Each structure stands twice: as structure tokens, then as C-alpha cells.
Amino acid sequence: MIRPPALGEFEQVVLLAILRLGETAYGVTVRAEIVACTGRAPTPGALYTTLDRMEDKGLIQSHLGDSTPQRGGRAKRYVKVTKKGRYALIEAQRQYQSLLRGLDLLEGGTDA
Amino acid sequence: MPSSRFAEWMLSRFIGRSRASTVVGDLLETTQRRGDLWFWTSVASVIVWPFWRKLFGYIAAFFLADYVSDVLSHSIHNVYATHQPTMNIAMLLGALEIVAKLLWMNSAYSLFRFGFKDHFAQLALALSGLATASVYFWWSRPVILPCLFALTLVIFLSVLTASRRAALLALTGAVGLGFVGWYAVVVGANVLHHHDRDASVLIYLVTSATDVVIVLIALTACSRMRRVFSPAQQLSPSLH
């Protein structure tokens, strides 16, 4: 069985944001979704570099979409998670879950 | 509205025309809320982000090589005066000094670019230490013998697993190519020096450029060799 590629934390965040957005995922909405869900605003450099790298690794796919006057007539690059990306994300989350099992971190709040 | 055409042209030099166009479109869409300053800092971050490790790796390698070069040359000069090596040992030490500098360059560059967990970086660092200790203490048997033992051990451990074997081959190739490049550049600079003895400014420029060219050759060899022998480990571990 082929092992899925290992994912960094930010790659997982981006993949989850894309999955949450579905058909409407492109640079601006992905960034907004990350800000809304995590409170962290990634720099455009980090976001676009990660998107390009994940596309090169076959974790996401992109296609050009519509353009608007707001964008100076430039097309949007919509992205979606591939089967390989979904598999890698599931594996990464499974690893987190197995580490969390037996701990009451989420129930116990932030008390030490 | 910022000069988006210029931004797009600039970005397309780094990430390709199609991607540059969509990125500038995204930035323009957001700029209406955040302003021109945000637009230009974002353009800069998209350009710099993929390359910052490479850029800092080059800078660190250049300064470390310069520092090591000074320290080793000084040390060899002092040791020569007290221990007076034979011609053969002197030539061997001269070659080992260049190898040590090349190894330090590869260590600094690969640590920045690929991180400490990278096998190539670990191997380069271990061999840099051994080569430097050997140049310093070539006359002292209690130091040289453990160094030789450690070198044998490092090489033995490196051939045991495929990824470490690939790192060893890549590092050997990188140092070999770097050595040839170094020799060619130094010989070229000497030839120029002999032809143009009076043009001191030109000599100064050529000598300064020599250091930069040597670092560029050594690190290009490092990148190429890694790509040949360890294509699966091209991305930084922290970015996986």
C-alpha cells in the first residue's frame, strides 16, 4: 500500500478550508475561511506558495473561472481537493486523533 | 488602484504568467478593503516566500565560508611554522582545507534550505567538523586517529540506508564539482592577475567576484546533486 504524502499543519488547514468552501474555493475565499475559523491571517506569500506546492504534489487541482471588474478582468483560480489530497488529509487527521485518544484536552478546557 | 500590470509582470517572472494573473486578481479584490500598501507587501511576500530559505542559505554559506577560510588559513599558517610539514602533507592539507570550506558551505546552505532533520545537512555538518579538526590537528595523533575512526563510522552508517546513501552520493558529487569549480575560478583569476598587474581596481573586483562565483558554483552543485540523488526530499521538512 502506498503511503500518502506527509502534510504540514498549514497544508492541513488549507485543505480543510478548501473542503469547507466546496465549489467556491479560490485564493480570497480560502484566506477568508482560514481567518474566520482559526483567527490567523496567513500572508498571501504563504498561502499561494502552499497552494502551488500542493498542486505540484497532486493534492489539489485548479481550474480558471470567471472574472470580475473588481479583479481588473482577471480570472479566479478555483481549487478543489483531489482523491490523493483527501487521503493524505484523512491519514494526518487519523494520526492526530490517535494521539488525542485517552486525553481529556478538549473536555478539560485550558486548565492545567 | 495600484499599477496591477507592473505587479503582474513582476510576479510572472517568478510564478508564471497564468498564476501571476490570478494572484493579482485576488490581491486587487482584497485591496479595495486594505489599501495599496497591503497590495505591494503582498506582491513582495508572494515573490520572496518560496525563495527565502534559498536566499538566506546563500548568504549564510557565503559568510560562513569566508569566516572558515580566514580561521583555517590562519591556523595552517601558524601550524606550518611550528610543525613544518613535508611537501606532500602540505598539498594534502591545502586540498583538505578547500574540502572543509566546501563542506561548511553545503552545511549552512542545506540547514537553511532543508532543515536539521535532512540527511544531507546532517552528513555535511558531521564531515565539516571532521575535516576542520583534521586540518587543525593533522600533527596530533590522538586527534587524527579518532577523526579517521569517526569518518569511517559516518561513511559506514551512511551506506546502510537508501536515503543516507543518496545523501552521501549527493554530498560527494557536490564537493567534487565544487572543488573543480573552485580550482577553475582560482586559476582563471590568477591568469587575469598576471596579465593585468597594474589594474588594481580590476583585480579587486575580480577577487571579490571570485568568492561570490565560488559560492554560487558550490551551492549550484549542491542543489543539482541533491536533485539527482534525493528527488523525493526536495522540499523543506517543515513545509511538508
> Comparing C-alpha atoms, which of B135, B122, B127 is closest to residue B83?
B135
Using the Cβ of B36 and the Cβ atoms of chain A, whether some distance falls under 8 Å is answered with no
Type of residue numbered B11: L
Q: How far is A2 from chain B (nearest CA, A)?
A: 14
pTM of the model: 0.62
Using the Cβ of A46 and the Cβ atoms of chain B, whether some distance falls under 8 Å is answered with yes
Q: Which residues of chain B does A74 touch, with a Cβ-Cβ cutoff of 8 Å?
A: 8, 21-22, 24-25, 28
- Can you tell me the distance from the alpha carbon of B207 to that of B203, in angstroms, rounded to the nearest whole number? 6
**Average pLDDT for residues A24-36, to the nearest whole number?**
95
Q: What is the DSSP letter of A102?
A: T
Using the Cβ of A27 and the Cβ atoms of chain B, whether some distance falls under 8 Å is answered with yes
Contact B60, B108 (CB under 8 A): yes
| pLDDT, tens only, B127-150 | 999 998 888 888 888 888 999 999
CB contact under 8 A, B25 and A72: yes
Q: For residue A11, what is the nearest residue in chain B, using CA coordinates? A: B240
Contacts 24+ apart (CB under 8 A), B118-121: B118/B167, B118/B233, B118/B237, B119/B163, B119/B164, B119/B166, B119/B167, B119/B230, B119/B233, B120/B167, B120/B170, B120/B171, B120/B226, B120/B230, B120/B233
**What pLDDT score was predicted for residue B238?**
36
Contact A72, B4 (CB under 8 A): yes
Percent of chain B with pLDDT over 90: 24
Q: What is the DSSP letter of B161?
A: S
Least confident range of A23-27, A39-43, B78-82, B119-123: B78-82
> Comparing C-alpha atoms, which of A59, A56, A49 is closest to residue A15?
A59
Q: How far is A6 from chain B (nearest CA, A)?
A: 6
- Can you tell me the distance from the alpha carbon of B239 to that of A88, in angstroms, rounded to the nearest whole number? 15
Q: For residue A32, what is the nearest residue in chain B, using CA coordinates? A: B30
Residue B115 CA, distance from chain mean position: 14
Using the Cβ of A36 and the Cβ atoms of chain B, whether some distance falls under 8 Å is answered with no
Q: How far is B38 from chain A (nearest CA, A)?
A: 10
Using the Cβ of A69 and the Cβ atoms of chain B, whether some distance falls under 8 Å is answered with no
Contact A19, A45 (CB under 8 A): no
**What pLDDT score was predicted for residue A103?**
82
**Average pLDDT for residues A34-54, to the nearest whole number?**
92
DSSP string, A1-62: -PPPPP--HHHHHHHHHHHHHGGG-SHHHHHHHHHHHHS----HHHHHHHHHHHHHTTSEEE
- Can you tell me the distance from the alpha carbon of B23 to that of B15, in angstroms, rounded to the nearest whole number? 10
Using the Cβ of B130 and the Cβ atoms of chain A, whether some distance falls under 8 Å is answered with no
pLDDT of B162 higher than 90: no
Q: For residue A59, what is the nearest residue in chain B, using CA coordinates? A: B240
Residue B11 CA, distance from chain mean position: 26
Q: Mean pLDDT in chain B?
A: 82
Least confident range of A83-87, B152-156, B196-200, B202-206: B196-200
Least confident range of A7-11, A37-41, B52-56, B171-175: B52-56
| pLDDT, tens only, A94-112 | 988 888 888 877 666 555 4
Q: For residue B44, what is the nearest residue in chain A, using CA coordinates? A: A45
pLDDT of A90 higher than 90: yes
Rounded alpha-carbon distances, angstroms, from residue B81 to B78, B137, B140, B141: 5, 14, 15, 18
**B202-224 burial, b if ≥16 CB within 10 A, otherwise e?**
eeeebeeebeebbbbbbbebbbe
